[in-house]
Amino acid sequence: MRATSADEAVAAAETLGYPVALKALGVAHKSEAGAVKLNLRDAEAVRAAAAAMAGLGTGLYVERMVTGAVAELIVGVNHDPMFGPVMTVGSGGVLVELLKDSRTLLLPSGRDEIEAALRSLRLFPLLDGYRGRPKADLAAAIDAIAAIAAFALANVDELVELDVNPLILCERGAWTADALMVFAPISDFQRGRIQTAT
């Protein structure tokens, strides 16, 4: 839920139920910028977090905390000058730069290709219940990734970049915790190359 003040953030948190996450809207790389506070358990914590984010971004966003996470993915879409829209799927959250574990798919891609990409990640054993841990809801993950791909294709003429990080995978369900989208008109030349390549 969007909020423009600490009071509105507290009201949103009360509506959603604690614990919540508080984020500054319009800020890339929120963790590094101090633009995200997690696991806020009461109104006082929400007020303190909102005060700490004063001046960051274009407003505040309050989300209910996702519990029972098995793993986190990154899903990104951008335009390759030769191939058109491409989607990258990989280990997400803070592991993106550390593991460099990703696969790239040309769009459109079907569910089988998305599943094969997930299964080829070094992270996949964690999704599959590594050492007796809970398994991630693979079908929900594929549904979410397919929906992101469909959105990208539906907006191919304006979407420059889309990053979902993290896509949180649980035993039941997959949840987008943060997303960045960049829109701009694509030139006729670029549009022609994309149409030719797909």
pLDDT in tens, 102-135: 999 999 999 999 999 999 999 999 999 999 999 9
**CA atoms of 22 and 40, how far apart (whole Å):** 8
pLDDT for 49 beyond 90: yes
Domain boundaries, the chain: 2-64, 69-197
Which CATH fold topology does 2-64 show? Dna Ligase; domain 1 (3.30.1490)
Whether the pLDDT of residue 162 is over 60: the answer is: yes
pLDDT score, position 186 = 56
Looking at the structure, give the CATH architecture of the domain made up of residues 69-197.
2-Layer Sandwich (3.30)
pLDDT reading at 193 higher than 50: no
pLDDT in tens, 50-83: 999 988 888 999 999 988 899 999 999 998 888 9
Strand order in the sheet with 36-40: 2-3, 60-64, 20-24, 36-40
- Kindly report the average pLDDT of the chain as a whole number: 89
Question: 24 Cβ partners below 8 Å, 6+ apart?
Answer: 30, 33, 35, 36, 53, 56, 57, 58, 59, 60, 61
- What amino acid is encoded at 27 in this protein? V
